[in-house]
């Protein structure tokens, strides 16, 4: 088994979990290459030579992993997403067991599922065009302000930094959004407009029900509130009804489609998978890349099946239950 591990040492708390994973993964005769990303890495270069490997492991936070996944779009190689970031929302949405040894076992068993990615393009304040891939969600407005305000506290507070940041700004600006979903136009007022490939956020709360990353559709989610206090209502509902199927989500509206454009009344910050990429964006376009990447899944994942089946690389039981 030949594995390439692409690791961002700057992600999250800098834990050693990835080394425990590699120790659990390798057996005599295997090869495991560790690629440590530099600060100025480009995803295309980091993924340039993946073809000779059986499995690619992407280890980092959501921002790192999403850009690398986008660079791997269209390639048939199994990719394992390893949680080395602060929030690790993509891992939470994939739903695999998160322990290093369990993920190593999933890689050896080699069961995979094809998932969609999102692609977003926008022009910055200087009129320069940009494009990026995303795995979870992108958005303009209050969500981007939260991500930015959380930044200095992520290392010490972890996920709580996001909630603290949300409560620190009780009066976010209300924008008017013109949203086009596969040619259909919607006019809405709200504090944020998100395009989501996945809807599970911090606290295992699903913003909208039935958002899957294997249906070839993105979800547009608009928070039609006037202040952070009203945002507490859907979050509180989320705590008692995590999937959103029982009592729904007040103030949150959702549309699903393949091609989406969003225009806001004023320039607002843009956030992609938790990273603020621009301070002032007036419009953006997003599209789905259906079945773009093949990810490793285990029996716990909603994208896997309960039966593990035969192990592709063998010796998977040794990993799960060491003597
Ligand atoms: Mg979907």
Report which listed range, 79-93, 154-168, 224-238, is most confident: 79-93
Shared domain check, 25 and 87: yes
Q: How far is the CA of 195 from the centre of ligand 1 (A)?
A: 10
Shared domain check, 281 and 144: yes
Token representation of residue 13: 């708390």
Quick one: which H or E segment has residue 66?
Answer: helix 62-71
Shared domain check, 303 and 182: no
pLDDT tens-digit readout, 158-207: 666 666 666 666 667 788 999 999 999 999 998 888 899 998 877 677 77
Shared domain check, 184 and 105: no
pLDDT over 90 percentage in the chain = 54
Predicted local confidence at residue 140, as pLDDT: 82
Distance between the two ends of the chain, CA-based, in angstroms?
22
126: number of Cβ within 10 Å: 5
Cβ-in-10-Å burial (0-12, 13-18, 19+) of 128 comes to: exposed
Counted domains in the chain:
2
Shared domain check, 126 and 37: no
Q: What is the mean pLDDT of residues 104-114?
A: 95
Pairing of strands 55-60, 78-83: parallel
Q: What is the mean pLDDT of residues 239-267?
A: 82
Radius of gyration of the chain (CA): 20
With b for 16 or more beta-carbon neighbours within 10 A and e for fewer, the 26-50 pattern comes to beeeeebeebebeeebebeebbeeb
Question: In Å, what is the CA distance from 94 to each residue of 226, 249, 305?
Answer: 32, 22, 13
Shared domain check, 304 and 188: no
Which CATH number fits the domain that encloses residue 214? 2.60.200.40
CA atoms within 13 A on the CB side of 317: 2
Shared domain check, 302 and 269: no
Q: How far is the CA of 215 from the centre of ligand 1 (A)?
A: 5
Give Cβ neighbours of residue 204 (< 8 Å, ≥ 6 apart): 92, 242
Secondary structure (DSSP) of 174-197: PEEEEEEETTEEEEEEESEEEEES
Shared domain check, 217 and 72: no
C-alpha–C-alpha distance, residues 38 and 49, integer Å: 17
Which CATH number fits the domain that encloses residue 31? 3.40.50.10330
- Average pLDDT over the chain, rounded to an integer: 86
Predicted local confidence at residue 167, as pLDDT: 66
Q: How far is the CA of 199 from the centre of ligand 1 (A)?
A: 9
| Residue 151: pLDDT over 90 | no
pLDDT tens-digit readout, 291-313: 999 999 999 999 987 776 788 88
Shared domain check, 151 and 72: no
Predicted local confidence at residue 320, as pLDDT: 46
Residues forming a β-bridge with 271:
139, 276
Q: How far is the CA of 26 from the centre of ligand 1 (A)?
A: 34
Domain that holds residue 205: 119-289
Predicted local confidence at residue 86, as pLDDT: 82
Q: How far is the CA of 29 from the centre of ligand 1 (A)?
A: 39
Shared domain check, 177 and 242: yes
Shared domain check, 192 and 149: yes
User: Which of 29, 28, 47 is closest to 37 using CA atoms?
Assistant: 47
In contact, 8 and 86? CB cutoff 8 Å: no
Q: How far is the CA of 218 from the centre of ligand 1 (A)?
A: 5
Q: How far is the CA of 117 from the centre of ligand 1 (A)?
A: 9
pTM value?
A: 0.88
Confidence of residue 321 (pLDDT cuts 50, 70, 90): very low
Shared domain check, 196 and 54: no
């Amino acid at each position: 088994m030949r594995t390439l591990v692409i690791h961002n040492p700057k992600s999250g708390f800098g834990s050693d979990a990835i080394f425990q994973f590699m120790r659990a993964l390798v057996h005599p005769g295997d090869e495991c290459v560790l690629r440590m990303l530099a600060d100025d890495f480009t995803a295309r270069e980091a993924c340039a030579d993946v073809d000779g490997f059986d499995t690619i492991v992407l280890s980092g936070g959501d921002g790192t992993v999403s850009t690398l996944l986008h660079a791997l779009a269209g390639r048939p190689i199994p990719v394992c997403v390893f949680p080395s970031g602060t929030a690790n929302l993509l891992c939470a949405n994939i739903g695999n067991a998160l322990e290093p040894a369990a993920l190593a076992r999933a890689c050896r068993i080699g069961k995979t599922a094809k998932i969609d990615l999102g692609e977003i393009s926008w022009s910055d304040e200087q009129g320069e065009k940009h494009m990026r891939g995303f795995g979870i969600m992108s958005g303009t407005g209050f969500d981007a302000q939260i991500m930015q305000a959380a930044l200095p506290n992520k290392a010490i507070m972890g996920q709580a930094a996001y909630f603290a940041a949300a409560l620190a700004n009780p009066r976010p600006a209300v924008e008017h959004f013109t949203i086009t979903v596969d040619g259909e136009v919607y006019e809405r007022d709200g504090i944020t407009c998100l395009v989501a490939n996945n809807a599970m956020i911090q606290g295992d709360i699903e913003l909208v029900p039935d958002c899957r990353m294997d249906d070839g559709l993105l979800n547009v989610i608009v928070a039609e509130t006037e202040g952070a206090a009203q945002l507490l209502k859907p979050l509180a509902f989320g705590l008692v009804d995590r999937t959103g199927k029982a009592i729904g989500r007040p103030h949150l509206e959702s549309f699903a489609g393949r091609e989406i454009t969003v225009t806001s009344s004023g320039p607002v910050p843009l956030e992609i998978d938790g990273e603020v990429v621009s301070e002032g964006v007036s419009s953006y376009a997003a599209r789905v890349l259906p079945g773009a990447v093949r990810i490793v899944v285990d029996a716990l994942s909603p994208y896997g099946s309960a039966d593990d089946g035969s192990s592709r690389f063998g010796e998977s039981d040794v990993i799960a239950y060491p003597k």
